[in-house]
């Protein structure tokens, strides 16, 4: 009971930092909340403003600056985090609800998994509300999440999610192939890390002055990104550290890299296909980086279930309500990726035993099926767009 009470107060503090991230990491930053500097013209702050939940009641004095009900959502977020953190502890540590084995799991392992998922859920919560507010997901969240996911893989010889046979690695439920432990494994791992970095590093691409100039501008824009070169150095160091440690550490690191590459790559492929077929941006690049972050923690096997089933199912209900209430049809997809990922973590044993293990036991057949599905989706979208043109419907309709 004491642990739950302590975690409640810790959760409310974490909720305060979630609110801080929502307002300070957004594209349009706002000075809302006790952890930000007061907005221009705001009344003086007092120490009680920083008390989680309660402090927002006092911050109602800033209503003339931020709006009538600005304080309600952040107060509810802190309160929800206060209840969610001890509930997550009970679910993962005390009840062991994400474990597939009936035997007792060491307390240290359970505490490790609880901490990892608490961090992941915190990052996803910040990303969710920023995406709701602006339909953007900041790199500060997703890049940090990828680095943390790799750090977890390098430093722990267990994975946050497990199978009936042990750790969830990139080849599960099949046996880990020894070929990945050789030199070409580290080459492939570094290549995946470089591919992720090239995808997220800010760069300039324009063909207005020809292809030669386009490549020159691209190279020059990347060279100037000094902070991002540091990010590449950190990622390369983590990958090399995982390889040198070997064994489970390298399996976990390599599997995290596969999760990053496959998760981000699948969403990116859908984004490109839908954009070409519909002749407009169908998904933001933030969804790509968000799915890469989720893959860094959960691995690649979860990506199809989250992206094709869990996220759409959670989104369709909200989309219907939104259309009926507001008349708007545009939807931020990132929050529903987060909902799908959270559901999969919490009900992992049910998913893996009923769907995951039987499906992924088919091995290389699974990526082939996903590739065929992407081709079918492209054909369907092109046909849909053609039908709309023949009927004279606009994209808004």
pLDDT at 118: 98
Confidence label for 376 from pLDDT (cuts 50, 70 and 90):
confident
The pLDDT of residue 397 is above 60:
no
Domain boundary among 110, 134, 158: 134
d(CA 178, CA 354): 28
The pLDDT of residue 173 is above 60:
yes
Looking at mean pLDDT, say which of 146-160, 165-179, 324-338, 368-382 comes out highest.
Answer: 146-160
* Burial class (CB within 10 angstroms; exposed 0-12, middle 13-18, buried 19+) of 242: buried
d(CA 185, CA 60): 56
The pLDDT of residue 372 is above 90:
no
pLDDT digits (tens, 9 = 90+) for 106-160: 999 999 999 999 999 999 999 999 999 999 999 999 999 999 999 999 999 999 9
Average pLDDT estimate for 7-34: 95
How is 179-225 classified by DSSP, letter by letter? GGGSHHHHHHHHHHHHHHHHHHS------TT-HHHHHHHHHHHHHT-
d(CA 149, CA 297): 5
Residues 185, 309: one domain? yes
How is 251-296 classified by DSSP, letter by letter? HHHHHHHHHHHHHHHHHHHHHHHHHHHHTS--S-HHHHHHHHHHHH
pLDDT digits (tens, 9 = 90+) for 194-248: 999 999 999 988 888 888 888 888 888 998 999 999 999 999 999 999 999 999 9
Q: Which residues are within 8 A (CB) of 266 and not within 5 positions of it... i.e. 6 or more apart?
A: 291, 303, 304, 307, 370
Looking at mean pLDDT, say which of 34-43, 68-77, 321-330, 361-370 comes out highest.
Answer: 68-77
Residues 50, 179: one domain? no
Residues 248, 295: one domain? yes
d(CA 47, CA 302): 44
pLDDT at 388: 65
Size (the chain), residues: 397
Query: Other CB atoms closer than 10 Å to residue 246's CB: what's the count?
Result: 10
The pLDDT of residue 393 is above 80:
no
Residues 110, 143: one domain? no
pLDDT at 112: 97
Residues 4, 86: one domain? yes
Among 30-34, 36-40, 184-188, 288-292, the least confident range: 36-40
Average pLDDT estimate for 153-177: 92
Q: Which single residue is written with the structure tokens 């496959």? A: 262
d(CA 259, CA 153): 12
pLDDT at 234: 98
Residues 252, 332: one domain? yes
Residues 312, 226: one domain? yes
Q: What mean pLDDT is reported for the chain?
A: 90
Residues 333, 396: one domain? yes
Domain boundary among 134, 162, 185: 134
CA distances from 32 to 15, 52, 54, 128 (A): 14, 14, 15, 18
- Cα 73 from chain centroid (whole Å): 22
Average pLDDT estimate for 341-367: 91
Which residue has better confidence, 110 or 390? Answer: 110
Q: Which single residue is written with the structure tokens 């490109």? A: 272
397: helix, strand or coil: coil
pLDDT digits (tens, 9 = 90+) for 70-113: 999 999 999 999 999 999 999 999 999 999 977 788 999 999 99
pLDDT digits (tens, 9 = 90+) for 253-292: 999 999 999 999 999 998 988 888 777 777 889 999 999 9
Domain that holds residue 397: 138-397
**Residue 72 structure tokens:** 């309600």
Which residue has better confidence, 315 or 326? Answer: 315
Cis peptide before 173 (omega within 30 of 0): yes
Residues 145, 176: one domain? yes
**Residue 294 structure tokens:** 């989720």
d(CA 19, CA 33): 7
Number of domains observed in the structure of the chain: 2
pLDDT at 390: 73
Residues 320, 207: one domain? yes
Closest CA to 30 of 61, 3, 72, 62: 62
pLDDT at 392: 66
pLDDT at 134: 92
Residues 204, 120: one domain? no
d(CA 350, CA 355): 8
Query: Other CB atoms closer than 10 Å to residue 295's CB: what's the count?
Result: 31
Domain boundary among 134, 156, 182: 134
Residues 156, 249: one domain? yes
* Burial class (CB within 10 angstroms; exposed 0-12, middle 13-18, buried 19+) of 196: buried
């Amino acid at each position: 009971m004491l642990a739950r009470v302590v975690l409640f107060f810790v959760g409310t503090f974490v909720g305060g930092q979630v609110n801080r991230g929502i307002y300070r990491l957004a594209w349009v930053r706002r000075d809302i909340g006790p952890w930000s500097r007061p907005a221009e013209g705001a009344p003086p702050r007092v120490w009680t403003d920083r008390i989680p939940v309660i402090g927002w009641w006092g911050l109602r004095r800033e209503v003339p600056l931020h709006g009538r009900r600005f304080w309600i959502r952040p107060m509810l977020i802190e309160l929800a985090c206060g209840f969610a953190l001890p509930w997550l502890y009970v679910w993962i540590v005390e009840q062991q609800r994400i474990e597939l084995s009936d035997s007792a799991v060491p307390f240290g392992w359970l505490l490790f998994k609880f901490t990892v998922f608490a961090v992941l859920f915190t990052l996803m919560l910040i990303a969710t509300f920023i995406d709701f507010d602006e339909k953007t997901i900041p790199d500060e969240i997703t890049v940090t999440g990828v680095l943390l996911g790799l750090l977890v893989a390098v430093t722990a010889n267990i994975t946050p999610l497990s199978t009936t046979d042990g750790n969830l690695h990139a080849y599960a439920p099949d046996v880990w192939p020894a070929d990945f432990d050789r030199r070409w494994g580290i080459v492939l791992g570094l290549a995946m890390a470089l591919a992720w970095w090239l995808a997220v590093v800010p760069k300039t691409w324009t063909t207005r002055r020809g292809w030669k100039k386009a490549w020159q501008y691209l190279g020059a824009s990347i060279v100037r990104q000094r902070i991002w070169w540091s990010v590449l150095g950190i990622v390369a160091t983590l990958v090399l550290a995982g390889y040198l440690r070997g064994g489970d550490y390298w399996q976990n690191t390599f599997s995290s890299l596969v999760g990053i590459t496959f998760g981000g790559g699948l969403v990116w492929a859908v984004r490109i296909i839908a954009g070409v077929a519909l002749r407009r941006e169908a998904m933001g690049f933030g969804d790509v980086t968000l799915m890469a972050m989720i893959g860094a923690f959960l691995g690649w096997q979860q990506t199809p279930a989250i992206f094709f089933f869990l996220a759409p199912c959670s989104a369709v209900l909200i989309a219907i309500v939104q259309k009926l209430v507001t008349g708007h049809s545009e939807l931020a997809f990132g929050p529903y990726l987060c909902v799908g990922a959270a559901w999969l973590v919490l009900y992992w044993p049910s998913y893996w035993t009923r769907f995951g293990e039987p499906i992924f036991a088919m091995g290389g057949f699974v990526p082939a099926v996903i590739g065929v599905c992407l081709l079918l989706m492209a054909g369907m979208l092109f046909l849909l767009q053609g039908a709309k043109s023949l009927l004279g419907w606009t994209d808004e309709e």
